[in-house]
């Protein structure tokens, strides 16, 4: 019955199924309900390789470089114009 309830109501967890079984007069612990519930497979999370492949266009579009001037102050140019030293701090 626990498996049937967990398949029929995928959003219900062990506490909810435990409560419903108690309402039906079935005395069972919540740990036992959790033990016999159907385990759902999670979708695998993306790997770094797939993340970088998906974001390659955006990563390659960054064209920023830092140049030290004659006075050794950082000059930052990212095609948006000059910036202050705070913006170029690494």
| pTM of the model as a whole | 0.47
Domain extents in the chain: 2-36, 61-90
pLDDT tens figures, 34-78: 999 988 777 777 888 888 888 877 766 665 665 666 666 655 555
pLDDT for the residue numbered 25: 95
pLDDT tens figures, 1-41: 999 999 999 889 999 999 999 999 999 999 999 999 988 77
84: pLDDT strictly greater than 60 = no
Question: How far is the C-alpha of 28 from the C-alpha of 30, rounded, in Å?
Answer: 7
26-50: b (≥16 Cβ within 10 Å) or e: eeeebeebeeebeeeeeeeeeeeee
Question: How far is the C-alpha of 15 from the C-alpha of 71, rounded, in Å?
Answer: 68
């Amino acid at each position: 019955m626990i498996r049937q309830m967990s398949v029929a109501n995928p959003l219900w967890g062990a506490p909810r199924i435990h409560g419903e079984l108690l309402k039906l007069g079935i005395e069972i612990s919540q740990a036992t309900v959790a033990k016999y519930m159907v385990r759902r497979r999670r979708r695998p999370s993306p790997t770094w390789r797939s993340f970088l492949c998906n974001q390659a266009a955006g990563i390659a579009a960054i064209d920023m470089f830092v140049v030290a001037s004659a006075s050794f102050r950082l000059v930052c140019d990212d095609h948006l114009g000059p910036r202050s030293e705070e913006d170029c701090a690494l």
